[in-house]
Amino acid sequence: MSDKSVQKKKYIVETARKVFATKGFKTVTMKDVVEACDISRGGLYIYFDSTESLFEEVLKNELLKSDTDVETGAETAITNSDILTLFFRQQKKDILNNRDSLIIAMYEYCFMTKTTGAKTLMDKEVYAASSFLEKLLKAGNSTGEFDVEDPKKTARNMVYVLEGLKLLNRTGDISEKMIDDEFVFLLQGILPAK
């Protein structure tokens, strides 16, 4: 693929991302993408032959970005407690961010592709977050910052809570305060008793 093609593909993926963020997955048509990109009908098919394949590419891109985000964040923080706070703050942004988020599209995509490798995708994310938190909790345990009996299960619990909040913000009303309250609640559960 020529350099120009690579650029164009990238342009399509980025433009499509906006479309998916706005409309979710299921109702996005190739026509929507064509119009958003202002290219010809046939032109899009050169690069992607369905919204599925296009969305998969969008997700790939997305994961790369988020990986980077995590790393960057982690480098500048100091204590485990700080890292956790940072993580929660990031999650809060994710939870509240409706306009720019692929979450709904991703949910819809996952609902559709029950059998295929799509599940793996969410699983991976969950696993990554869970592992990250587990390590953090363990590290915090050893520094005395936290007092967590079963870091693995606590991490899991946190992931469930985060996922629940994320969903509920798309299906109902979750205020910023509610998220803050919940994070405080989670923190209290892991801080050492005085």
Partner DNA sequence: CATGAATGAGAGTTCATTCAT
Partner DNA sequence: GATGAATGAACTCTCATTCAT
Which residues are near a copy of itself by CB under 8 A?
A: 24, 26-27, 98, 104, 106-108, 110-112, 114, 119-123, 126, 150, 153-154, 156-157, 159-165, 167-168, 170-173, 178, 181-182, 185-186, 189
Least CB distance from residue 65 to DNA, whole Å?
24
Q: Which two tokens stand for residue 192?
A: 């050492």
Cβ 189 vs Cβ 176: under 8 Å: no
Least CB distance from residue 181 to a copy of itself, whole Å?
6
Judged by CB under 7 A, does residue 4 bind DNA? yes
Identify which of residues 11 and 127 has a Cβ nearer to a copy of itself in the complex: 127
d(CA 166, CA 160): 10
Residue type, 13: V
Footprint on residues 5-24 left by DNA (CB under 7 A):
5, 8
Complete DSSP assignment for 32-91: HHHHHHT--HHHHHHH-SSHHHHHHHHHHHHHHHHHHHHHHHHHH--SHHHHHHHHHHHH
d(CA 18, CA 100): 7
Binding residue for DNA, selected from 26, 50, 176, 185, defined by CB under 7 A: 50
d(CA 105, CA 160): 19
Footprint on residues 111-130 left by DNA (CB under 7 A):
none
| Contacted by 74, from DNA, a copy of itself, none: CB < 5 to 8 Å by type | none
Binding residue for DNA, selected from 31, 60, 119, 124, defined by CB under 7 A: 31
Q: Which two tokens stand for residue 40?
A: 């010809």
d(CA 85, CA 49): 42
Least CB distance from residue 67 to a copy of itself, whole Å?
19
Phi and psi at residue 6, in whole multiples of 5°?
-60, -45
Stretches 32-40, 56-64, 76-84, 140-148: which one binds DNA (CB under 7 A)? 32-40
| Contacted by 189, from DNA, a copy of itself, none: CB < 5 to 8 Å by type | a copy of itself
- The residues that touch DNA, with contacts defined as CB under 7 A, are 1-2, 4-5, 8, 29-32, 39-43, 45-47, 49-51
